[in-house]
Amino acid sequence: MMAERWGDIKADIAAAKRHFAAAERIGRQEAIDTATDAGYDAAMALQHAMLAGYTSFELALRRILALLDEEAPVGPDWHAALIRRVSTPIANARPAIISPKLAGDAAELMRFRHVAMHSYDNFDFERTRTAVAAAGRFLARIDDELATFRAAIDPD
């Protein structure tokens, strides 16, 4: 049973990585002029890729909490509470799921997700650079961090 649940988590992380890699590729452009059709398409693709990447990552984190029989956070700030929760070890129960460093990048990705969900008509390409850089760091770290966590809680 645990292997199947880890399979679902791995699938969510693979989706997150695919979307963040696409966002990073789009975000490497020198500029996006949303006054043009091509610029509009690129801006929408970047925003959607970041939103989909972060949503997939959150789903993986919620699946990990379920695997551990931990309740997911609730309330209006549940997105931020989720990042705090998974980056904090629980004494005598589990280590942190992700490092504080990755949690900082996740918080940046979460902020961009919010912008993509609610402010799509106010796209400012220059302001995306911080989030795109966070996506690159996420891509560089996520596999190792989850492998370390899994080895700590499920060594078989």
pLDDT class of 147 with cuts at 50, 70, 90: very high
Report pLDDT digits (tens) over 70-86: 999 999 999 999 999 99
Q: Which helix (H) or strand (E) covers residue 61, if one does? A: helix 37-67
Report pLDDT digits (tens) over 82-116: 999 999 999 999 999 999 999 999 999 999 887 77
> Rg of the chain over CA atoms, in angstroms?
16
What is the per-residue pLDDT for 112? 86
Sign of CA dihedral 138, 144, 146, 152: negative
What is the per-residue pLDDT for 67? 94
Q: What is the pTM of this model?
A: 0.92
Domain spans of the chain?
A: 2-153
Q: Which CATH architecture has domain 2-153?
A: Up-down Bundle (1.20)
Contact predicate 105/134, CB 8 Å:
yes
Report pLDDT digits (tens) over 42-72: 988 999 999 999 999 999 999 999 999 999 9
Report pLDDT digits (tens) over 9-24: 999 999 999 999 999 9
